[in-house]
Amino acid sequence: MTETSPPADAPERAFFGRRKGKRLRGLQEQRLAELLPRLRVAPPAEGRLDPATLFPGIADGPSEVWLEIGFGGGEHLAAQAEARPDIGIVGAEPFVNGVAKLLRAVDERGLRNVRIRDEDVSPLLAALPDACLARVYLLYPDPWPKRRQRKRRFVSDESLAEIARVLRPGGLFRFASDIDDYVGWTLMRTARCPALRWTARKAADWTQPYSGWPGTRYEAKAIAAGRRPTYLEFERIA
């Protein structure tokens, strides 16, 4: 993601920047008006939200539910949803143009196992019950590189504790970035989270993409610019 100024009404620690980029075309606007409301996920006013109930299109319910935080253009999320139609995937992304790109993939590929949170993911995380997710992805989040901005990075002691809470035992948290400082920042904070264990055993475990990795548009730009991505994986332990 590129560094941008947050909207005036954004919370103090909003981890995202701008909400909209280039002007949307007619079909994009139509999908936002007609398709998004059918896929949108909102936290309930009271109580918890069982994510398994969000996917009536999956016969007998999803075998697992995954969450991708900040899905960008949706390349990874759409590829995973197409490869695993038995899995329910919730994607959170406040950037309208990114949501429009994912909606196109959902529409054109007939994906029935995708749901979208087009606002801050934090209220959604807080509404999820314990141990309800099998995977959480955070791929190429905005690094907020300036020192005064770092409090806006999504990875924090508090957010990792919340991710660990919603992951079931053995569930995976996957983090990818091409910014070394953010990688170190994340490793330091996950080391302080007693419920998460780094799964790496050798260097290739964090320098090679995950199995079945489809790549993302941002990753391709980073590699073209000479930046090397890092792929971290953490397991939820009892």
* Residues annotated as part of the active site: 142
Our CA angle for 100, 230, 226, nearest 5°, is: 85
Which residues are bridge partners to 174 per DSSP? 137, 233
Cα 154 off chain centre by:
11
Q: What's the distance, Cα to Cα, between the start and end of the chain in Å? A: 33
Task: Report helix, strand or coil for 71.
Answer: coil
Amino acid at 191: A
Residue whose entry in the numeric block shows the structure tokens 């947050």: 6
Burial of 100 (0-12, 13-18, 19+ CB in 10 A): buried
CA proximity to 168, closest of 122, 235, 114, 233 = 235
Residue 154 in contact with residue 189, Cβ under 8 Å? no
Contacts of 119 (CB under 8 A, 6+ apart): 42, 92, 94
Three-class secondary structure of residue 234 per DSSP: strand
Closest CA to 70 of 20, 111, 117: 117
